[in-house]
Chain A
Amino acid sequence: MGIVELENVRKVYPLGKVQVEAVKGVSFCIEKGDFISIAGPSGSGKTTILNMVGLVDQPTDGEVFLDGKPTSKLKDAELTRLRHETLGFIFQSFNLIPVLNVWENIEFPLLLGKTRVGKDEKKEWIDHLIEEVGLSDWRKHKPNELSGGQRQRVAIARALVTRPQIVLADEPTANLDSATGEQILELMKKINRELETTFIFSTHDARIVDIADHIIRLRDGLVTENVRRGEPAAAACSSGESAGA
């Protein structure tokens, strides 16, 4: 069942007097619970696509469907609410909030939005996540006291704390050495299986795409390969499953 669908998405950035077409008409369908890799060299449009899937940016043309619903007409406040409720984010440079400690960084998304979680339930869940990412001894530490790998583990826990349907990770291993990067990916994969959370990660490193169920390769803003479990994947979600199809 398709959870994310891009339909003829284009993204044009104004750059001084010229227009840069970063994404030139991309369509794909992502199945719920998959572990997806968006792969391509630097400048191929990975970040631009993840930003649009993550509702932090909007396409110039085309439509992004999230859980079957179109998102291009939504206002900023609604997009923000939707991000908070359905998406988790992992960034290349970790992006923890420097003044908050490990526990507080993970807690932070739970303090936003309208729904409030019970205190005990919240504590239990955060403690569970901290254990899951292997940082039980580091709860009170500030981000600047952690290694890159540890910071990315905090970010993973933070991305999961709201129990999002989809976690987006833009080159989550690019700032880590390859061994640590592998561990991070293994951790994401493990959580993907355990919680059945859809993970979409981008990478420019051809060696780490094999871990994915579904690989979408990009070059110059176009999809060059779209393979799911060894089979060519359809560019559109099958009709009936997506409101836009």
Chain B
Amino acid sequence: MNTIANIALRNLSRQKKRTILLGSAIAFGVMIVTLINGFAGAFSANVAENFSDLMAGHVFISGTEKGAKDKDVSVIRDDTALTAAVKASGAPVKYVTRRSAFSGTLIFEGKKIRTNVDGANLDEETFLRDRLLLKEGSWDAMEDRGALILSEKIARKLNADVGDTILVQMQTVTGQSNVGEFRLAGISFDAGIFGQMMSYANLSYVNELIGLAPDEYQTMGIMLDGLKRTESAAASIYAGLSGDVQLFERGVKDEKGAETPFQALMRQQSKETWDGVKYRLFTINEILSQIKQIVAALDTAAAIILVVLFIIIMVGISNTFSIVMFERIGEIGTMRALGVQRGGVRSMFLYEAVFLALGGAIAGIIVALVAMGIISLFDFGMENPAFIIMKNGHLSFYLPPLRAAGNVVVIALLTLVAVASPAGKAAKLTPAEALRTQK
């Protein structure tokens, strides 16, 4: 090895305490940042997968008819073509769900709350019973046509108990106001802000309330055997449907910066007119494209932490190396006298810094990976408010290798910047000055 690099390495091991201290500071910073990166890396996949559960599908098909005054009516009247296309696509389908939904106001003893209610065919959606654990009541009570399952928070806000009758106000698909009655059949475990997405009623009753026929519905959800195949399955189902039914274009480009592709699609739809039902195919990824912004925000936060934390650490490193420079001033003088050029003295310090940074950063990543492994062993259960960001009730992590490598490079560069000034001072010393100052 290069002599100067070799000496730099040995200087690090000579002052073990100091090296361990500085290295640990770097490792700690890298560990924090790596944990955030790892969390962000798994975040979007977990959220998408959990939303797929909530919305009962990875790929969705909804129908829209033009009603009176060109008002959009959301309905699927006959799904033979859809079912055929799904079957023909060869996509790895786990099951298909048929749902109608409305957003309305629940009223109980003077208390009101707005929520979304999903009408599901519970004979078909047996998985829902396993997925959504009830704290009170039972799924069996859903035999009752007007039965309703609410999440804990909403039930508490209404102050309603299992067996209570709850009034509901909503609009039909054609825009008429309507009222109905539900009986609270079950209360599910708290799901935080997603509780509002988790009110379930019988499809046939929801259809009645919003003015659809019993065998009609609004959205077909196609649950695949995993998130990964979503886009390819969507593409082949879409290809199978083209020609057979009226279809909205897919993947409308984001025209205005703030819009998601999904919003852009909705805007485009309201500008057109057509006869009969026109279908729209979309995926969980399109609905959750905002998740990407959250991930980006997390990564930005990690980057800011990286920089702030490291500016602090770098101040420490810079000061330490200034002290180190004075401690080794005699050695510097000796080396210069023996024929080491200025650049050699500078590189000795820079090598030392880079080795320190690399060692610390790699240790930090290893510690973070171990921590991730341990954290992901804990089972938080599916009935905790943060379930949406978890994978089967476990916190999960994915560290993109490029990001980890990028962090290491950033640390190494910052460390180089931190020691640039002491290294420069050491290089600038004349050998006579350095030799004289030594004692």
Residues of A bordering B, CB below 8 Å: 47, 51, 54, 56-57, 76-77, 80-81, 83-85, 89, 91, 93, 95-100, 108-109, 111-113, 158, 162
B338 touches A83 (CB 8 A): yes
Q: Indicate whether B341 reaches chain A with its CB closer than 8 angstroms.
A: yes
| B312-332 interface bits toward A, Cβ cutoff 8 Å, 1 = contact, 0 = none | 000000000000000000110
Chain A residues closer than 8 Å to B14, beta-carbon distance? 98-99
Within 8 Å by CB of A113, from B339, B342, B439, lies B339
Least CB distance from B277 to A in Å reads 81
Q: Any chain A CB within 8 A of the CB of B336?
A: yes
Alpha-carbon distance A99/B341, docked complex (angstroms): 19
Q: With A and B bound together, what is the CA distance between A164 and B97 in angstroms?
A: 90
| Chain A residues, Cβ within 8 Å of B438 | 93, 95
A80 proximity list for chain B (CB < 8 A): 336, 339-342
Q: Is the CB of A109 within 8 A of B435?
A: no
Cβ contacts B397-439/A at 8 Å (1 or 0 each):
0000000000000000000000000000000001110011011
Q: Which residues of B contact A (CB under 8 A)?
A: 3, 7, 10-11, 14, 330-331, 333-342, 344, 430-432, 435-436, 438-439
Q: B3 to A111, Cβ gap below 8 A? A: yes
For A94, the closest partner residue in chain B by CB is B334
Q: Which residue of A lies closest to B12 (CB)?
A: A99
Q: Choose from A83, A97, A109, A113 the contact partner of B7 (Cβ within 8 Å).
A: A97
| Closest residue of A by beta carbon distance from B436 | A47
A56 to B431, CA, bound (A): 5
In the complex, 23 of the A-B residue pairs with CB atoms within 8 angstroms, ordered by the A residue number, are: A51-B435, A54-B337, A56-B336, A76-B430, A77-B341, A80-B340, A80-B341, A80-B342, A89-B338, A91-B334, A95-B330, A95-B331, A97-B7, A97-B334, A97-B335, A99-B11, A99-B14, A100-B10, A108-B3, A109-B339, A111-B3, A112-B339, A112-B344
| Extra A-B contacts (4), CB below 8 Å, given A80-B341, A80-B342, A111-B3 | A56-B430, A89-B337, A93-B438, A95-B333
Beta-carbon nearest neighbor of A99 in chain B: B10
Binding site secondary structure of chain B: helix
In the complex, what residues of A have CB within 8 A of residue B344's CB? 112
A98 touches B338 (CB 8 A): no
Q: Taking CB as reference atom, which chain B residue is nearest A112?
A: B339
Q: Contact check: which of A56, A76, A162 meets B337 at CB < 8 Å?
A: A56
In the bound complex, how far is the Cα of B338 from the Cα of A81, in angstroms?
9
Q: In whole Å, how far is B102's beta carbon from the nearest beta carbon of chain A?
A: 76
Q: With A and B bound together, what is the CA distance between A85 and B341 in angstroms?
A: 13
Tally of contacts, chain A with chain B, CB under 8 A: 70
Q: Is the CB of A95 within 8 A of B339?
A: no
Residue of B nearest to A79 (CB): B431
Evaluate whether A98 and B432 lie within 8 angstroms (CB atoms) in the complex, with A109-B339, A111-B3, A112-B338 already known. no
| Contact with B340, one of A51, A95, A112, A158 (Cβ below 8 angstroms) | A112
Known: A51-B432, A91-B435. A84 touches B339 (CB 8 A): yes
Please pick, from A56, A96, A99, the residue contacting B435 in the complex, using a CB distance under 8 A.
A56
A112 to chain B: which residues have CB within 8 Å? 3, 338-340, 344
B10 to chain A, nearest CB (A): 4
> A77 to B330, Cβ gap below 8 A?
no
Contacts of B338 in A (CB 8 A): 83-84, 89, 108-109, 112, 158
Q: How far is the CA of A95 from the CA of B331 in the complex (A)?
A: 7
From B13, which residue of chain A is reached at the shortest CB distance? A99
Q: Which residues from B are CB-within-8-Å of A54?
A: 337
Tell me whether A83 and B339 are in contact (CB under 8 A). yes
Q: What's the nearest-Cβ distance from chain B to residue A34, in Å?
A: 22
Chain B residues in 8 Å Cβ range of A81: 339
Ranked nearest first, the 4 interchain pairs of A and B with the lowest CB-CB distance are A84-B339, A57-B432, A99-B10, A56-B431
Docked complex Cα distance between A198 and B335 (Å): 22
User: Which of these, B341, B430, B439, contacts A93 with CB under 8 Å?
Assistant: B439
Set of chain A residues within 8 Å of B10, measured between Cβ atoms: 99-100
CA distance A95 to B341 in the complex (A): 18
Instruction: Note all chain B residues with C-beta closer than 8 A to A111.
Output: 3
Residues of chain A with a CB closer than 8 A to B436's CB: 47
On whether the beta carbons of A100 and B7 are closer than 8 Å, the reply is yes
Q: List, in ascending order, chain B residues with CB within 8 A of A93's CB.
A: 330, 438-439
Give the complex CA separation of A91 and B331 in angstroms. Answer: 12
Closest to B328 in A: A98
Name the A residues within 8 Å of B336 (CB-CB): 56, 80
Q: A56-B435, A57-B432, A108-B3 are in contact. Are A97 and B337 (CB under 8 A)?
A: no
Contact B7 A99 (CB under 8 A): yes
Contacts of B11 in A (CB 8 A): 99
Nearest CB in chain A: distance from B415 CB, A: 21
